[in-house]
Amino acid sequence: MSYMYLFLSACLLLVAANDIKTHKIPNYLVLVIIIGSLIGNAFFDVGISLMASSLGLIIGMGLMLPSYFLGSMGAGDVKLIAAIGTVTGYHKIIDVVLYSYLAMFLLAFIFIILKGDLIKLVTRYKMMLFGVLGGVVFYQKPSALEAAAQKIPLAPAIGIAALYVIFPENWYY
């Protein structure tokens, strides 16, 4: 087990707690992950090569930017994935991104169910589907009071996905 993975786990715990409490991911925590990983990989041979680490950052950010531009996640979430990429490298960041999307979907779905808005969500999407089938393409925005319109902290889902990718053997007991 790499010391970098333990370092990332501790940082992800802090980031997730802060995101739950404030709905913000502090830049300084993301920078701690990036700088710690790059220094560790460049000088102490504790994980992957500096090139793999840098590519992980670039690929992670590149894969998440479309979600940011579409408004489905904040800039802090994108920066967090990029920072995770410096630890996991380019060969694991794609898995982290895919599992993050899955975990975020499940988190949002549970949130909608707990808020009691599942019927509203299904009704809204049913209307949009019938509109598309009828030749009318439109998007019906959820009301401000619906769970689908509220922001939820995504760092816990991203953290769980990252931990699942870097510690896969510990999830099968």
pLDDT in tens, 93-140: 999 999 999 999 999 899 889 988 888 888 888 888 887 777 777 777
Cβ atoms < 10 Å from Cβ of 43: 9
Q: Which tokens is 100 given?
A: 């993050």
The structural domains of the chain, with segments of one domain joined by +, span 3-115+153-171, 116-149
Whole-angstrom Cα distance, residue 97 to residue 116? 28
Residue 171 banded pLDDT, cuts 50, 70, 90: low
Q: pLDDT, tens digit, for every residue of 40-94?
A: 888 877 778 889 999 999 999 999 999 999 988 999 999 999 999 999 999 999 9
CA distance 148 to 83: 28
Q: What is the pLDDT of residue 172?
A: 56
| Per-residue model confidence (pLDDT) at position 136 | 77
